[in-house]
């Protein structure tokens, strides 16, 4: 089952390369910009998530897909990396899954020249991990 966090990350990655989310039966498409702000998702992304997770928005789905956000949050779906481009894509846990990735209609994708989409990064936590690794005694300092 895809967790809410996985579905949010799935949307965030695809938003970063320009795919929007269709709401209200196709009458509106949302594409928040920016998606990431510092070490968290942007206010625009959070507002978009609130809209698409509200039942009043109707069936909401990423452009080029058929699975609604509500469906992805059921036990019948999980989100894993695409074998072609490593972007997160939904897979049905039971039955036959689509063999086509969401990236199939993105021109020139995967583009290894561009930075890959990513989740927010807590810079402070990353720096603390580096500091802790540097503080650990090395094998050479212990032996001699």
Number of H helices, E strands in the chain: 5, 7
Angle at 88 (CA atoms; ends 103, 119), nearest 5 degrees: 115
* C-alpha closest to that of 86 among 5, 8, 14: 14
CB 22 within 8 A of CB 60: yes
First to last CA, the chain: 51
Inform me whether the pLDDT recorded for 29 exceeds 90. Answer: yes
Confidence of residue 32 (pLDDT cuts 50, 70, 90): very high
Q: What is the CA radius of gyration of the chain?
A: 19
CB 60 within 8 A of CB 52: yes
Domain count, the chain: 1
pLDDT at 17: 93
What is the per-residue pLDDT across 58-112, written as a single tens digit (0 to 9) for each? 899 999 898 999 999 998 999 999 888 889 999 888 655 555 677 777 777 778 7
Q: What is the pTM of this model?
A: 0.70
What is the arithmetic mean of pLDDT over 32-41?
94
- Determine the structural domain holding residue 98 and report its residue range: 4-143
**Phi, psi torsion values for 131, nearest 5 degrees:** -60, -45
Burial of 94 (0-12, 13-18, 19+ CB in 10 A): exposed
**Helix then strand then coil, % of the chain, to nearest 5:** 40, 15, 45
Q: Strands, DSSP E only, in 42-144?
A: 61-62, 77-81, 88-92
């Amino acid at each position: 089952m895809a967790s809410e966090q996985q579905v949010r990350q799935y949307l965030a990655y695809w938003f970063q390369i320009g795919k929007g989310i269709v709401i209200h039966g196709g009458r509106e498409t949302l594409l928040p910009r920016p998606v990431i702000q510092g070490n968290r998702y942007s206010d625009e992304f959070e507002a978009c998530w609130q809209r698409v997770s509200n039942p009043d928005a109707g069936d909401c789905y990423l452009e080029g897909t058929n699975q609604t956000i509500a469906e992805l949050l059921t036990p019948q779906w999980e989100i894993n990396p695409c074998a072609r481009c490593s972007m997160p894509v939904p897979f049905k846990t039971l039955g036959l899954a689509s063999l086509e990735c969401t990236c199939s209609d993105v021109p020139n994708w995967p583009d290894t020249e561009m930075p890959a989409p990513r989740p927010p990064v807590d810079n402070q936590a990353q720096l603390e991990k580096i500091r802790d690794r540097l503080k650990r005694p090395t094998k050479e300092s212990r032996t001699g």
